[in-house]
Amino acid sequence: MSLFITFEGPDGGGKTTQAHRLVDHLQSQGHEVLLTREPGGTAIGEQIRRVLTDLSNTPMHPRTEILLFSASRAQLVHEVIRPHLQSGGTVVSDRFFDATLAYQGYGHRLDLAALRSITTFATGGLIPDLTLLLDLPAEEGLMRRKKHGVSSRLDAYNLEFHQRVRNGYLELAAAEPGRWIVLDASKDAGALESEVRKLVESRRPKPAG
């Protein structure tokens, strides 16, 4: 049976590492697993990612941003995610539409209802089965990010913006407790990895008999 898992959280929370580790683990157990990321994940999506992250694109309006994130997402759902789920596989995605609600909605304070309808249009209504929020204070996330020397247009927002994003994620998680699990991303990567494995195992359908 198919399973769609997403990783979300503020920048610097280690979701990319955890997503890779989970996929390696599931693959080693013989599952058909696909790892993808947003923005990106397809040839068209990776081109859109470059536009979004390019430091020379600083004049980009938040509404333009939403449409670009959504365009990348629409292609990813159509080309990669839906076909894999339809064939019974598992998809793990490093971010999905909740990132638009958290960053553009809570971070940039754009209208959440409008964002929900744009994202639903882009995804065709696809919702993850399980969303893991790697939560940590915005200050800590930004510090970790700087240590890795990451520099993109999307890193340029200030601390207050990232605090709103974090609080937004926590609100989204609280509103849908059946789908979201909040994890403490300040724990070490090994401890988080085993927590994630256990959670995913508990969502897998048990074999009959």
Residues that bind ligand TMP (CB under 6 A): 11, 38-39, 69, 94-95, 99-100, 103-104, 154
Q: Which is nearer to ligand TMP, 38 or 193 (CB)?
A: 38
**What's the rounded Cα separation, in Å, for the pair 172 and 100?**
12
Neighbours of 188 (CB within 10 A): 8
Q: How far is the CB of 104 from ligand TMP (least distance, A)?
A: 6
Q: Which is nearer to ligand TMP, 26 or 102 (CB)?
A: 102
Among the listed residues 28, 34, 18, 30, the one whose alpha carbon sits nearest the alpha carbon of residue 194: 18
The one-letter amino acid at 150: V
Q: How far is the CB of 111 from ligand TMP (least distance, A)?
A: 15
- Helix, strand or coil for residue 89? coil
Q: Which is nearer to ligand TMP, 74 or 99 (CB)?
A: 99
Among the listed residues 167, 52, 151, 164, the one whose alpha carbon sits nearest the alpha carbon of residue 108: 164
Q: Which is nearer to ligand TMP, 40 or 193 (CB)?
A: 40
Phi, psi dihedral angles at 21 (to 5 degrees): -65, -40
Q: ∠ at Cα 110 (75, 146), nearest 5°?
A: 75
Q: How far is the CB of 37 from ligand TMP (least distance, A)?
A: 6
H or E segment and range at residue 33: strand 33-37
Q: Which is nearer to ligand TMP, 85 or 168 (CB)?
A: 168
Q: How far is the CB of 106 from ligand TMP (least distance, A)?
A: 10
State the residue number with the nearest CB to ligand TMP.
103
Q: How far is the CB of 127 from ligand TMP (least distance, A)?
A: 15
